Amino acid sequence: MDLPVMPPVKPMLARAASAIPPGMLYEPKWDGFRALVFRDGAELEITSRNTRPMTRYFPELVEILLAVLPERCVLDGEIVVIAPGGLDFEELSQRVHPAASRVDRLARETPVSFVAFDLLALGDTALVGEPLARRRAALEDLLAGRTGPGVASSPPPGSGPADTQLPPGRPPAGVYLTPATDDPDLAADWFRRFEGAGLDGLVAKPPAGHYEPDKRAMIKVKHERTADCVVAGYRPYKNDPAAVGSLLLGLYDGSSLLSVGVTSAFPMARRRELVGELAPLVTAIDDHPWARPGGSDGTEGADGAATRTPWDAGESRWARGRDLSFVPLRPERVVEVRYDHMEGPRFRHTTQFVRFRPDRDPLECTYEQLERPIGFEIADVLSGSGG
């Protein structure tokens, strides 16, 4: 591979802001794996935000990129799973797996797409020193007529990852150009509406800015909300069992207490204090709502769905090799936490501790308190019909 911009390259990053800044180019913030794509003829390499190779995990995407992209180019973008209900990060996280057989199977069952939002090189020309406005125009020209769902070839059934025998409602993989606008009012409308399709905010970029690898030269604005949750247990701190590592949070769905996430940012002194404060609430696991692993033994919630418990984390690659045991607590204490958005029944990211709420009744900690995003089709976002 011989390109004007060669791997490894760390992507340009964003710093957080609480409001949409003026005078910027605005794009939806995609919820997936950040990725740089390097193509030189028949060679194609996909690298992660930390410059790790990711090519082997997405064979269906490699095939499409080779068919869609010009012979020599470097793109920045996001790898996403587009599910019938919007973006699905949980399914995307399962795609990074060491077993080649599983990679091939998931490439057929949950194909990924690539959403491009920057162009670092084209042909023999490096574009990192060009202003964003020119890079964006070049990216639009490059992908004109090339974007959308599809596969690069049509091999015989069962012969490879391009054989997309997908479940009903599952769109095929594709390459897309992210929408962009310089209208802050339209960006604010996107911020409000696009969350219903699984996007988690906006990214604002200076139109005259150069591409600065590993620098926080962009601005991200994410949804921020608070919720009252039941403290149903805690995990000890990894290096000090006499300190709290994280509080396990629950919300009631009918009569069932579902595990929704954790909060964990405490000073060490406070972690040790919490062990003493929570000691009167410690109970036997057999008397706890999360006594059994709901996702594996058929425990059901009020709506008939499998009850989410901390044991379900064992299904995720993120939990591989991690001790999932916890100290069960009687669900009598309430904590207020700050969160950005939900993914299914759980908080998408680790929440931020705000305060304990002794004035709150744990039984009032239900999903009904949560703000529901407006439903929005991901296809409308990608097609540019979102505004």
Give 240-295 pLDDT, tens digit per residue: 989 999 999 999 999 899 999 999 989 999 999 999 999 999 999 888 998 865 43
**pTM for this entry:** 0.71
Contacts 24+ apart (CB under 8 A), 366-372: 366/251, 366/252, 366/253, 367/251, 367/252, 367/253, 369/227, 369/228, 370/225, 370/227, 370/342, 371/225
CATH number for the domain running over 225-369: 2.40.50.140
CA angle 182, 188, 194 (to 5 degrees): 105
Q: Mind telling me the catalytic residues?
A: 29
Q: What is the pLDDT of residue 210?
A: 98
Per-residue pLDDT of 219-247, as tens digits, reads: 999 877 889 999 999 999 988 989 999 99
Q: Write down how long the chain is.
A: 387
Q: Sign of dihedral through CA atoms 69, 215, 127, 206?
A: positive
Per-residue pLDDT of 362-374, as tens digits, reads: 998 999 888 666 5
Strand partners, 113: 80
Quote the distance between the C-alpha of residue 263 and its chain's center.
Answer: 18
Tokens of 96: 């990074």
Q: Where in the chain is the domain with CATH 2.40.50.140?
A: 225-369
Contacts of 222 (CB under 8 A, 6+ apart): 16, 29, 200, 201, 340, 341
Q: What are phi and psi of 205, to 5 degrees?
A: -125, 135
Query: If you classify domain 13-223 with CATH, what class do you get?
Result: alpha beta
Q: Is the pLDDT confidence value at 187 over 50?
A: yes
Per-residue pLDDT of 306-359, as tens digits, reads: 345 665 543 343 344 444 588 999 999 999 998 887 877 888 888 999 999 988
Q: State how far the Cα of 116 lies from the Cα of 370, in Å rounded to an integer.
A: 32
DSSP-based three-state secondary structure for 154: coil
Under the banding of pLDDT at 50, 70 and 90, the label for residue 302 is very low
Tokens of 153: 């070839």
Q: Where in the chain is the domain with CATH 3.30.470.30?
A: 13-223
Burial 265-282 (b: 16+ CB within 10 A, else e): ebeeeebeebbeebeebe
The residue-averaged pLDDT of 204-219 equals 96
Amino acid letter, 346: R
Edge-to-edge strand list for the sheet holding 216-221: 13-16, 216-221, 202-205, 25-28
